[in-house]
Amino acid sequence: MHKILEFQAVVLAAGRGSRMPDVGGTVSKCLLPVGPYPVLWYSLNMLEKFGFQETMLVVLDEDKSNIINALEKCPLKIKYDLIVIPSEEDWGTANSLKHVSSKVNTDLIIVSGDLITNINLNDVLNLYRKHDAALATLFFNNGPEEWIELPGLKTKAKPDRDLVCIDKETERLVFLASASDFEENVTIPRLLIKKFNSISMYSRLLDAHVYVMKKWVVNYVVDTDKFTSVKGELIPHIVKKQLAKPKNQVERKGTSEKNVDITKDIFDYAVEQGYESKIRKMSAYNDHTLGSKGVYYNDTLRCYAHIPDKNTFGIRVNTLSALYLSNSKILSKWQEITGTELLERIHPNSEVSTKQIDENCTVGEKSCISEKTSLKSTFIGSNCTIENKVRLTNCILMNNVTVKEGCVLQDCILYTGVTVDVNCNLQYCIVGPHHVVSSSKKGNHQLFAEITDNMITLG
């Protein structure tokens, strides 16, 4: 396997899952189960698969011990430097980037800790390398979201959408904004239309939150200290700056109140090192075929976007539907996503007495499944107990769950420490951590959890 040494990697896994209202604010998103492993494992496994030897892993302080315990039980060779951020402070991803900046010595790849994909990561890295880009991004174009009936209360929440413009000929990412920034009409800069001959606009791409960037971008983020979010603020800012030109000395003036020079802008950081510009002047290469403009339109800043084939699997587990959909697909796509075979769907330290368990199920460590049970397309965590005459179909059971005799559960999610008492019949229900569902309870699209001050407390 080729070792990648020219990039450092950082995995951002300090998110709380704000788009998962039914999960609540206290559950660590990166430890939600997808198949036999937590979500975070898939991002780390992807980096390992493509030659990364180590990565920085940014997590919340209060999640550190749980993440260490979870990853110790997963097959991983990549070394991870666990970097904690304060749990009580509301840090954005750009704040996390500033926090690790002192450890960044090379160009950087940022990966979200909730990404599951079978993408060839080299396609993104090579696009960045080919054009000596300031930034390269990854989007998935998988078409409309799959409609699936979800457990829990029915909602009509609309997904966030981005407006993405990409030059067809060069793969330049030339425009990026949130669709919510516009009411009816979308205004595209006239200069952009004049500059690029054929632009495709997308409104249904999924931002993978994979960003390859120059080291100077990190320095710029630290020095300017005006960005909170990488995706929401930093990336659109760099993309927009492609259309600008460096200011001359007459336009630069002023210092801050602390007598700090504020005349520096992004172009003062985007200084090419080495012989790249001289080589381009000597070369006959041009990234575009029409017009008389020089290579890259003489732009200092260049951003690119890679959109893989529509058959590529890519999902970010940041919504309830994504968690549910990823679990329904993970085993059928296991080898192409992970690059390995899943040899043990049933942990050797678990006790599974039933023969009515299909190949789309997994069972975690030290779980006990009684003889007279039926399990179909169900994922069971560690230390779970499933008693006799229980039927589970399309369910997700986290750790330390007990389902007592005679229960029938379909399309349900049961969080850590749940007990479902005898003879319950639940369909499309969510049960919050440590909640006890009383015997003979029937439910359809219900949420069983502790409610305090209009907030769902799950754990």
Question: Is residue 21 over pLDDT 70?
Answer: no
Provide the greatest CA pair distance for the chain.
Answer: 83
Share of the chain above pLDDT 70, in %: 84
Q: 57 phi and psi, to 5 degrees?
A: -125, 110
Name the one residue in this structure whose structure tokens are 């054929």. Answer: 198
- Token digits for 277? 């510009």
| Other CB atoms within 10 A of residue 6 CB | 8
Least confident of 59-63, 89-93, 332-336, 373-377: 89-93
Report how far apart, in Å, the C-alpha atoms of 81 and of each of 52, 78, 95, 355 are.
Answer: 13, 10, 18, 42
* pLDDT (mean) for 382-408: 96
User: DSSP 3-state assignment of 396?
Assistant: strand
Contact 304, 171 (CB under 8 A): yes
Question: Is residue 304 over pLDDT 70?
Answer: yes
Residues 6+ apart with CB under 8 A from 309: none
User: What are the domain boundaries of the chain?
Assistant: 7-181+189-246+266-283+290-333, 344-448
Least confident of 180-189, 196-205, 269-278, 339-348: 269-278
pLDDT score recorded for residue 291 = 58
Report how far apart, in Å, the C-alpha atoms of 450 and of each of 91, 432, 445 are.
Answer: 27, 7, 16
DSSP letter (8 states) at residue 157: P
Contact 336, 118 (CB under 8 A): yes
Give the confidence band of 429 by pLDDT, cuts at 50, 70, 90: very high
Q: 224 phi and psi, to 5 degrees?
A: -75, -35
- Token digits for 432? 């919050």
* CB-based burial, 405-438: b 16+ in 10 Å, e otherwise: bbbbbbbbbbbbbbbbbbebbbbbbbbbbbbebe
Question: Is residue 384 over pLDDT 50?
Answer: yes
> Does domain 7-181+189-246+266-283+290-333 sit in CATH 3.30.499.10?
no
Q: What predicted TM-score, i.e. pTM, was given to this entire model? A: 0.89
Instruction: State pLDDT tens for residues 152-162.
Output: 877 766 667 88
Question: Is residue 440 over pLDDT 90?
Answer: yes
d(CA 178, CA 279): 37
Least confident of 177-191, 208-222, 247-261, 417-431: 247-261
pLDDT score recorded for residue 459 = 33
* pLDDT (mean) for 261-265: 67
344-448 shares the fold of 7-181+189-246+266-283+290-333: no
pLDDT score recorded for residue 24 = 44
Contact 211, 135 (CB under 8 A): yes
User: DSSP 3-state assignment of 404?
Assistant: coil
Termini Cα distance of the chain: 41
Question: Is residue 455 over pLDDT 50?
Answer: no
Q: Which residue has the higher pLDDT, 38 or 451?
A: 38
Q: Which residue has the higher pLDDT, 246 or 48?
A: 48
Strand order in the sheet with 379-380: 362-363, 379-380, 396-397, 413-414, 430-431, 447-448
Consecutive H or E run containing 33: strand 33-34
The CATH superfamily holding the domain 344-448 is Hexapeptide repeat proteins (2.160.10.10)
Q: Which residue has the higher pLDDT, 175 or 300?
A: 175
Question: Is residue 452 over pLDDT 50?
Answer: no
Instruction: State pLDDT tens for residues 117-171.
Output: 999 999 999 999 988 899 999 999 876 566 778 888 777 666 678 899 998 888 9
